[in-house]
Amino acid sequence: MTGTEPAAAEREWLVDLPAWSARVSQLEALAADAWPEHVTREWAWGGSTGAGVRVCVIDSGIERGHPAVGEIDGAVVVLRDDDGTTRTEPDEEGDVAGHGTACAGIIRALAPECSLHSVRVLGGGMTGRGLVLVDGLRWALEQDFDVISMSLSTTKPEFASMLSGLVDDAYFHRVVLVASAHNRPVESYPWHFSSVVSVGSHDQDDPLAFFYNPSPPVEFFARGVDVDVAWSGGATLRVTGNSFAAPHVAGICALVLGKHPELTPFQVKHVLYRTATNVHER
């Protein structure tokens, strides 16, 4: 205590609940709209097209007007200057590698009416710098997207703490962040953080088949083997990798939020668990 008499409002607070507390009556009111006893896929996203949901793909860019993607609603590129600083500006070039278009096409196929946005952080060789990745994610969070899909990661530990803080910010600000696990058995980020929806791949053909994994850090497995995807120049390509599993889950998240926009990331994760192919009641 400083010896200074607190104001009346402060005195009232001091004898009320501690910080980060709530009255039971408030919590009961928040839970008034109870979920059904069985969280089915029909309840979770039946009839949804992703309309009204803003999805951001952080990758190598998106090819505008690709037949499998259509028009997108915004695109920026994060550039690194010679002095090491980064800047974000409108992306006039689009996809420089094909990878981002592939991810966007998967999301569009599942959630055809979602709003798609691109943040380009990778170059033509599918390489990038950790600081560019960090600043690309930071920029995306500032735009209040509903879903962010990241099919990339960094193995460099010096960026881990930066990304950890950002993905926690996303979680607490109601942004569902979906990230692919690394294709090799290495520790990389941000998929390794628990506040992220982390995704590996399976070999089934059904784009809506996804599996809960009871042995994290990978939480879900989605289609990612021999997938026909959109690619640069209006083309298609058959590909394999966890990169292409993550946008399947991002698209499903867009469907869920299109029908239930009030859900938090914690609740979206719960819906994914309850509706996973190896969990949900048929």
Give me the active site residues, please: 59, 99, 243
CA separation for the pair 221, 207 (Å, rounded): 11
φ and ψ of 248, to 5 deg: -65, -45
Please give the full DSSP string across 160-216, using - where no structure is assigned. Answer: HHHHHHHHHHHHHTT-EEEEEPPSSSS--BTTTSTTSEEEEEE--S-TT--EE-SSS
Asked if 168 and 134 touch (Cβ cutoff 8 Å), the reply is: no
Task: Name every residue whose Cβ is closer than 8 Å to that of residue 121 and which is 6 or more positions away in sequence.
Answer: 58, 59, 60, 77, 78, 128, 132, 133, 136, 152
**Strand residues in the chain grouped as ranges (E):** 54-59, 74-80, 86-90, 115-120, 147-150, 176-180, 197-202, 211-212, 220-223, 227-231, 235-239
Ramachandran sector of residue 65 (left: φ over 0; alpha: ψ -120 to 50; beta: rest)? left
Amino acid at 153: S
Asked if 250 and 178 touch (Cβ cutoff 8 Å), the reply is: yes
